[in-house]
């Protein structure tokens, strides 16, 4: 399958139509984007918490292993949410701009078909 065929499939998908607002869900994209940004902030925030503890700047009374064990579930949940919501934003981005640098890079990769 070529990159153009893949983009056409994504553009024709019901997910892309819903994100574009074609099915009457005008607020779907802003909600997905908001959840995506919040999930990314939680991913990076939880990682920064552990990093600051490793540097000895915060939470000195808590062992690193305990803090990392407490933060890790939030990091993974937020990462999965960011992955899911990022798929929704990608569906719209692909439809809007086929000259995206990441897509150009994908098109230059050798195909195995």
What is the reported pLDDT for 18? 78
Task: Tell me the domain boundaries of the chain.
Answer: 3-108
Contact at 8 Å (CB) between 89 and 33?
Answer: yes
Tell me 99's DSSP state: T
2 has pLDDT over 60: yes
- Cα dihedral angle (18, 9, 102, 16), rounded to 10 degrees? 0
**Residues 14-70: tens digit of each pLDDT:** 777 777 777 777 788 888 889 999 999 999 999 999 999 999 998 889 899 999 999
Confidence bin at 113 (pLDDT 50/70/90) = low
What is the reported pLDDT for 14? 79
3-state secondary structure 29-59: HHHHHHHHHHHHHHHHHHHHHHHHHHCCCCC
């Amino acid at each position: 399958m070529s990159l153009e065929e893949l983009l056409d499939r994504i553009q024709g998908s019901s997910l892309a139509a819903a994100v574009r607002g074609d099915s009457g869900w005008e607020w779907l994209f802003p909600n997905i984007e908001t959840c995506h940004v919040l999930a990314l902030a939680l991913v990076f925030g939880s990682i920064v918490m552990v990093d600051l503890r490793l540097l000895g700047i915060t939470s000195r009374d808590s062992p690193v292993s305990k803090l990392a064990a407490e933060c890790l579930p939030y990091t993974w949940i937020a990462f999965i949410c960011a992955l899911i919501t990022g798929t929704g934003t990608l569906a719209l981005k692909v439809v809007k701009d086929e000259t995206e640098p990441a897509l150009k890079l994908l098109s230059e990769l050798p195909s195995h078909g």
